[in-house]
Amino acid sequence: MLAKIIIVLLLLVIVTSLFTGMYFMLHDRSSSTRTVKALTIRIGLSLLLFGLVILAYLAGIIQPHGVRP
């Protein structure tokens, strides 16, 4: 259960970083690096989440399942 909570929290932080980057892109008219930093953080968090999901699967913490009707 803890692994699922961590995954959901990381997804929320990734989406927040995405919208932060979009905000900076729309409101910063000068050559600001805030957009690049926000999107770099998003990419790093996405890679971290991907790695954590793979490690959790390999450790047996999470198990894949099929869609049930």
Each residue's pLDDT, cut to its tens digit, for the chain (69 residues) gives: 888 899 999 999 999 999 998 888 888 777 678 888 888 999 999 999 999 999 999 999 988 888 877
Query: DSSP character for 67?
Result: P
Q: How many CB atoms lie within 10 A of CB 17?
A: 20
Q: Taking the model in full, what pTM does it have?
A: 0.78
Neighbours of 38 (CB within 10 A): 19
- What is the rounded end-to-end Cα distance, in angstroms, of the chain? 23
Q: Parse the chain into domains and list their residue ranges.
A: 2-59
